[in-house]
Amino acid sequence: MVEAGTWREFLTYRDGLVEGGAVPKIALGLALAKFLGEEAAKSPYAKGKTTPKTITAPDGQKVYVNPKNRSPRPMFASHDDFAGKEASEVEIIRWVARWMCVADVTPADCPDAAAWNLRNQCLADSEFKADFWRTMYPKIIPSRGLLDGDNDKPPVDGLPQVDMIEKLLAVKAEAEGGAAP
């Protein structure tokens, strides 16, 4: 499929079925059948257990649903999806917090490949997701003292500090004769 140029379309189709609630192994079998034919769909890798509940896929096929599969599954993305996109760590964490459980998010919506990877890891692993909310997200919330300080100033979110650290690292790297990180 890579050589034929259909790999990304295959992944998108398979992931779309899973996001819609299809059992992952059934979604794989349907995707293999669509892109490689029925023989590929009969392989041991494409077989899985089914449930009596079905949904209708975008192409009209009936697809078995796993009622326990409540959260969207991680999606793969292409390097091209993130060409020229960069965001600060604060922006990445804020984006993940805002878009973590939104089902129709695409790589085009994402500000940075790191944000996409972090969101997908949160979706794939409930312990990682809990750790995100417990340790990563609180770091971007400003302290009460900063918020209550001077009401004439704009709200503080930690971004100026991150920018200052990046500038200091760049100055250090330049002074040492190397490139900035």
Domain residue ranges of the chain, discontinuous segments joined by +: 7-64, 79-140, 146-175
**pLDDT computed for residue 36 by the predictor:** 79
| pLDDT score at 116 | 93
Say if residue 165's pLDDT is above 70.
yes
Q: Residue 134: what pLDDT?
A: 92
Is the overall model pTM greater than 0.85, yes or no?
A: no
Question: For residue 21, is it left (φ>0), alpha (ψ between -120 and 50) or beta?
Answer: left
- Model confidence pLDDT, tens digit, residues 132-152: 999 999 888 876 666 666 556
The SS3 call for residue 114 is helix
Query: What is the Cα–Cα distance from 132 to 150, expressed in whole angstroms?
Result: 30
Residue indicated by tokens 């984006």: 95
Task: Identify each DSSP E strand in the chain by its residue range.
Answer: 54-56, 62-64
Highest mean pLDDT among 45-54, 79-88, 147-156: 79-88
- Grade residue 52 by pLDDT with cuts at 50, 70 and 90: very low
The per-residue pLDDT for 145 is 61
What's the number of CA atoms in the CB half-sphere (13 Å) around residue 162?
14
Tell me which of 166 and 160 has the higher pLDDT: 166
Q: What does each C-alpha distance from 31 to 35, 74, 82, 114, 115 come to in angstroms?
A: 6, 17, 25, 28, 27
pLDDT value of residue 151 = 57
CA torsion, points 79, 85, 89, 92, in degrees to nearest 10? Answer: -80
CA distances from 68 to 14, 48, 53, 65, 73 (A): 18, 15, 12, 9, 12
Q: Return d(Cα 171, Cα 155) in angstroms, integer.
A: 27
Tell me the C-alpha distance between 157 and 141, whole Å: 6
Residue-wise pLDDT for 63-82, tens only, equals 555 445 444 555 778 888 88
Q: What is the pLDDT of residues 109-118, one digit of tens each?
A: 999 999 999 9
pLDDT, tens digit (0-9, with 9 covering 90-100), for 12-43: 888 888 877 777 878 888 888 888 776 665 65
Q: How large a percentage of the chain has pLDDT more than 90?
A: 18
Q: Residue 125 pLDDT > 60, yes or no?
A: yes
Tokens 């769909």 -> residue: 41
Confidence of residue 94 (pLDDT cuts 50, 70, 90): very high
Please, what is the average pLDDT of the chain? 76
